Structure 1
Amino acid sequence: MIQGPFSQDDAKEPRVLGDPRALAGAAQTDAEAEATRRRAGAAESSRANRRWWDRNADDYQLEHGDFLGDARFVWGPEGLDEVEAGLLGPVAGLKDKDVLEIGAGAAQCSRWLAAQGARPVALDLSFRQLQHARRIDQDGETGAGLVPLVQADAGALPFADASFDLACSAYGALPFIADTARVQREVRRVLRPGGRWVFSVTHPVRWAFPDEPGPEGLTAVASYFDRTPYVEQDDRGLAVYVEHHRTLGDRVREIAAAGLRLVDLVEPEWPRWNDQDWGGWSPLRGRLLPGTAIFVCAAE
């Protein structure tokens, strides 16, 4: 993630969704925050989530850094690796490709891309996450060199048209953004004709289930079709964390409307070797419910 994770106007019930914050460790929630469901626009969402990731980046990297590696491309908690998946295309074909990673976190994916000979740019809204990226670049021994870092909102990419051959996002940015249709249009704008855009998010079906790794997370308690954002707010009613929901159909329609073509939809199964819980993701749930959706798109 520098994600997210990787950025208008959109009530009260417990957290019952595939909260990417769980991907950062639920224990890091602001103790005084109140969980609710209410509208949250672009500016409020961007401000809240930037501050949340700046506060929690240290704990996130400490807790999950070993799993993510310094220069590894992992698509989600299941541990699907790009080396095996090849969703961006053959590894040999990445050489000399201009690649934009959106919601890059500490730029682990970008660093792996650089090691394959690509020219990645790692973009994230959180300055603290980007500081971790530079720390790894300077202290690590990945052999990838320094990855260019950009702090910006995914809904307003600071690049010229047709600047990249590929764009990717592994659990970055999209879950936290109110207007994801705009993000899809921005990605299409900066991609060259025939370029590929691959992004992973919490599987939309998880919105209906409690964000718990045990048996209590196996019973649907909310509507999959309720797009009302999940918000954590302080005692003044100001959002400190926001997550937005899109159904599978919503995602497909936004992709098509942006001039992109859906090539594949990958729903990774939980592998036998992965015995760890990660927030609401777990071997128990992973054997029964999809936890991640990966959309593979091509620029028309």
Structure 2
Amino acid sequence: MYEESGYPAPAGFGRREVGPEESARAGRLWWDGAADAYQAEHGEFLGDAEFVWCPEGLTEAEAGLLGDLGELRDRRVLEVGGGAGQCGRWLRARGVRQVVSFDLSLRQLQHSRRIDEQTGDRLATVQADAQRLPFADASFDVVFSSFGAFPFVPSADDALAEAGRVLRPGGRLVFSVTHPVRWSFPDDPGEQGFTITQSYFDRRAYVEEDDRGNAVYVEHHHTLGDWVRGISGAGLVLRELVEPEWPEGHERVWGGWGPVRGRMIPGTAIFVADRPQEMSGSR
């Protein structure tokens, strides 16, 4: 199946603890190997310069989670784990002047450059790890991530602390991840996906390994409480938790997301948080 799809094939898989270095190495290697297949499979749905928050198809144009688009045009915006930069490019195409998108995978960034050349909407990109952002404190007004990086880091606290560190007072953080409740169910979009097979509280990572036991793909589970505590610990205030409903007429299947299960249980959680204005601070 993997050979036919173009995605890297693991020798085995399971659940175990994975630290930050091993996780980052696996993420970089897997996404470098999977980027071509991923963009071929999902590129049409994501668009070259569209802002889609989740497999349910909710867009920023519909939701307005980042705030008023007119006000964003003079703000500095950071896209976390942007892949080929589709979301950041959507902002650029609408007049947001300062948008930076970063990703761990060089191959994903090469796809971003390819789309730049095709569309003429150029996006500033950086290769970086969400666990150690190469940006100064309080350097962005908005930080966002559409399923980028946050599902692939072992510590929600550390990743959110980094996002909060680069956010200016009065700034906003918005990110979407797999809805934590989904980790209790198998990754099956059909009827079999309704059966609870593992503990919601089991925080061991899902790991795919090569034939020597090295992690080649890692995805981490954090509960709703973990995300909320991480947001609070980063000095941010949670404003909204969005759980997009499956829209009528949307028949696309994406991994464990699909219309059968999507109409019954949430597949995505989108967190919206703000950094309070500091009385003694200045923008």
Instruction: Give the TM-score normalised by the residue count of structure 2.
Output: 0.94
Letter paired with 1:122: S
Alignment of 1:159 onto 2:135: yes
Q: Which runs of 4+ in 1 moved over 2 A?
A: 24-33
Letter paired with 2:274: A
Aligned to 1:115: 93
May I ask how many residue pairs the two structures share in their alignment?
A: 274
Match of 1:213 among 189, 193, 197: 189
Contact 2:189 2:255 in 1 (8 A): yes
Identity, % of aligned pairs? 60
Contact 2:83 2:109 in 1 (8 A): yes
Letter paired with 1:135: R
Q: CA deviation at 1:207?
A: 0.2
SS of structure 2 residue aligned to 1:117:
coil
Match of 1:243 among 219, 227, 238: 219
Aligned partners of 1:199 and 1:31: how far apart in 2? 29
Aligned partners of 1:126 and 1:29: how far apart in 2? 15
Coordinate RMSD, CA, aligned = 1.6
Aligned to 1:260: 236
Aligned partners of 2:6 and 2:183: how far apart in 1? 21
Aligned to 2:199: 223
Which has the bigger relative contact order, CA under 8 A and spacing at least 6?
A: 1
Contact 1:25 1:60 in 2 (8 A): no
Alignment of 1:130 onto 2:109: yes
Cα offsets for 1:236-265 (capped at 9, x unmatched): 111011111000001000110110110000
Aligned partners of 2:5 and 2:20: how far apart in 1? 26
Listed as ranges, the matches of 1:21-170 within 5 Å are 27-28=5-6, 30-118=8-96, 119-141=98-120, 145-170=121-146
Aligned to 1:283: 259
Contact 1:25 1:279 in 2 (8 A): no
Instruction: Give the TM-score normalised by the residue count of structure 1.
Output: 0.89
Q: CA deviation at 1:91?
A: 2.0
Range with bigger deviation, 177-186 or 207-216: 177-186
Letter paired with 1:92: G
Gaps of 5+ in 2: 277-283
Q: CA deviation at 1:116?
A: 2.0
